[in-house]
């Protein structure tokens, strides 16, 4: 990494220290730069977002009556 990249990263850490989502994105960008520099796979850095998207899609399915198969429906009496 060159000096400009390092300077921007450090400024970002101090600028985003009160904004959680901005800090998370900045930190992810930093980790991606490091992993790409080392030739590593960066797909694991997005697992949290992918999991949230999957859960949202499943919830949308549950919200629509009749869209789930009978074996996918959780019965209230069986809990």
Whether residue 75 has pLDDT greater than 70: no
Q: 78 vs 18, which has greater pLDDT?
A: 18
Q: pLDDT for 4-53, tens place per residue?
A: 888 888 898 888 888 888 888 898 888 888 888 888 887 777 777 778 88
C-alpha 55/C-alpha 53 separation (Å) is 5
Check: CB of residue 16 under 8 Å from CB of residue 24: no
pLDDT score, position 29: 87
Mean pLDDT for the stretch of residues 60-78: 72
């Amino acid at each position: 990494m060159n000096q400009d990249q390092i300077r921007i990263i450090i400024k970002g850490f101090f600028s985003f220290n009160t904004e959680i989502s901005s800090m998370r994105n900045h930190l992810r960008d930093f980790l991606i730069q490091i992993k790409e520099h080392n030739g590593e796979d960066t797909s694991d850095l997005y697992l949290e977002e992918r999991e949230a998207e999957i859960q949202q899609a499943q919830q949308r399915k549950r919200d629509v009556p009749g869209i789930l198969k009978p074996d996918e429906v959780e019965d209230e009496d069986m809990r």
